[in-house]
Structure 1
Amino acid sequence: MPVDLKADCIADSAGGLTFDLNVPQGTGTTWSAALVLRLRAGADDTGAAEGTDDEVRLPLGPNGPGRLRAVLPSTVALAEGRWHAFADLGDGVDPRRLLPGVNDLRSLVDRRPLAGIGRLGVRIPYATKLGNLALRSWLRGPHAEAGDILVAPEGLTVTGRLYGASPTAGAHAEARARRAGLDPVAVPLTVDGPDFRFTLPFEELAARWRHGSEPWDLWLCPAAEVPPVRIARLLDDVPEKKQVFSYPALSVPAADRELRIGPYYTLDNDLAVRVSGPAGEA
């Protein structure tokens, strides 16, 4: 019976990852041995982006007794999505799923890349529901990193930092409804170099509510010649922010009823706002 293989992961501040596999002593490898990353196909994945592959092979080499090492440099582009990790020991056996070992992700906490970076790559290892090793990857350029979030009666105040672009005159933030037929809500930015701040009035969203629970996605529009940038929180060691970062929903009057409005992170760690009607109202 094959022995379960575990991989310890060490992250560096540039976005690279080192994988150290624990294998039975005496395990031999060939020149073709590799740690294999495969992009998961699913409803929430869009497939490999231009210039990236849906399978990446990282050479495995000895790193002491009972240890093999593979390195994923920050310069290797991984498409956005979830990547499953396998070990191919070059022994003719199909690659086997890796189990997570010990992660050292300290360098990801409050990571601060250079603001002028053209394209930002983020990779965070995690354990799947079945207990296997996987990576959550983002590849964005430009990128608007969400920082402090303040929920107050007058609205939502967001501070953050823009990477890969420079705000110009007329730069603003937008809340865009996922429901068709609604114009975006635009608010001005306060800018200090790459850092930005804006306040989104809740009354603007409440006035546009129609029924049920209506999500609005938050975007940054830095310049006329730069496409809008999704606001997200990526630069830390938490792969799924929605389960960790929780914000209150406040009661906001609208016409003849009270609505509940509050921010949240999506499954892709993008920042959004939910406007909900009274409980039980469709």
Structure 2
Amino acid sequence: MTIIPAPRADCTTAADGSITFVVDDTRATALVLQNRRTGERLRLELAPHAVLATATGLAQGRWDVLADCGDDGEQSVESGIRDLRTLLDRVPEPPAAAVAVRIPYQAKGGALAVRSWLRAPHAEVGEIGFVQGAMTVEGRLYGAGLGPGAVVEARLRGTPGEVHREPVTGESGAFAFTLPYAPLAAAGIVKETFRDLWLLPSGEGGGAVRIARILDDIADRKGIYVYPARPADAQGRATAVPYYTVENDLSVRLDPVAG
């Protein structure tokens, strides 16, 4: 019996955010993107290549790539060459009301998938640094203006209303803040604890924007960008470390120190 290899696709991203797919299987007439969580489907005809245009709506989430192979049915597509150079340090137009990101990536088992984000407004992380007892963050805000009362909130995950705020500075879309660790550990850290970081461009009581990093070619940042853990209090009873969540959002993890 002849075993027919699975379809394989190379893909290239363009400066406008579109993605072109080139499939090596002559049986394939179209690619089907299927949302892994909702089952929503999007069909892209191969003529001869498939193009996911910038204007084509793609809900936030992970999309598996399938090939319509006619009588052989739909088949999972193997990931080939992914040319993502145009995604490196992408800079959307500052006036943009929304930031749409699509990143092709190799999923488990070698299958091709697309990660999609759609955020309005969006607070993009730039440089993360460290000073004594604190972390510093620089970034850029898209789709909203930064007011004089802007603050960052470190929200205790799982406990609504438990927040620590620090002032934010910046102009022309850029923002920066310093987040000391000691206030986050003031109540004592007895188990692994998380603080999620939100930007409030117009100050306390205004709308909140989740701080994240999505404007590059990395679909899954967690586990790739690893930062050093630093003492979170003068007594050395806890440590703090910034990290990216599975959604590429920026958070802080606090851990008790044994002994």
Q: TM-score, normalised by structure 2?
A: 0.93
* Match of residue 250, structure 1, among 223, 226, 230: 230
Could you tell me how far 1:92 is from its partner in structure 2?
3.4
Specify the code of the residue in structure 2 equivalent to 1:4: A
Specify the code of the residue in structure 2 equivalent to 1:199: T
Is 1:77 the counterpart of 2:57? The answer is yes
Aligned counterparts of 2:73 and 2:253: Cα–Cα separation in 1? 45
The aligned counterpart of 1:269 is 248
* Match of residue 202, structure 2, among 193, 212, 223: 223
Residue 102 of structure 2 aligns to a residue whose secondary structure is: strand
Aligned counterparts of 1:3 and 1:181: Cα–Cα separation in 2? 51
Specify the code of the residue in structure 1 equivalent to 2:63: W
The aligned counterpart of 1:200 is 179
Could you tell me how far 1:182 is from its partner in structure 2?
5.5
Does structure 2 retain, via aligned residues, the 8 Å contact 1:151–1:247? no
Residue 74 of structure 1 aligns to a residue whose secondary structure is: coil
Residue pairs, 1:56-205, within 5 angstroms: 56-62=42-48, 69-89=49-69, 91-180=70-159, 183-205=162-184
Aligned counterparts of 2:129 and 2:171: Cα–Cα separation in 1? 19
Does structure 1 retain, via aligned residues, the 8 Å contact 2:101–2:116? yes
The aligned counterpart of 1:35 is 31
Aligned counterparts of 2:101 and 2:7: Cα–Cα separation in 1? 25
The aligned counterpart of 1:65 is none
Residues 226 and 39 of structure 1, relative CA distance in 2, 3 Å threshold? farther
The aligned counterpart of 1:7 is 9
Specify the code of the residue in structure 2 equivalent to 1:34: A
Residues 142 and 248 of structure 1, relative CA distance in 2, 3 Å threshold? same
Specify the code of the residue in structure 1 equivalent to 2:34: R
Q: TM-score, normalised by structure 1?
A: 0.85
Residue 183 of structure 2 aligns to a residue whose secondary structure is: helix
Does structure 2 retain, via aligned residues, the 8 Å contact 1:151–1:262? no
Residue 238 of structure 1 aligns to a residue whose secondary structure is: coil
Specify the code of the residue in structure 1 equivalent to 2:53: P
Does structure 1 retain, via aligned residues, the 8 Å contact 2:133–2:233? no
Does structure 2 retain, via aligned residues, the 8 Å contact 1:36–1:57? yes
Q: Deviations over 1:106-157 (max 9, x none)?
A: 0000000111111111111111111111111111110000000012223111
Moved over 4 A (4+): none
Residue 200 of structure 1 aligns to a residue whose secondary structure is: strand
Residue 204 of structure 1 aligns to a residue whose secondary structure is: helix
Does structure 2 retain, via aligned residues, the 8 Å contact 1:151–1:248? no
Structure 1 stretches of 5 or more lacking a match?
42-46, 48-52, 63-68
Could you tell me how far 1:240 is from its partner in structure 2?
1.1
Q: State, as a whole percentage, how many aligned pairs show the same letter.
A: 41
Does structure 1 retain, via aligned residues, the 8 Å contact 2:133–2:230? no
Residues 209 and 72 of structure 1, relative CA distance in 2, 3 Å threshold? farther
Could you tell me how far 1:257 is from its partner in structure 2?
5.0
Q: Deviations over 1:183-221 (max 9, x none)?
A: 211111111210000011111111033421101000011
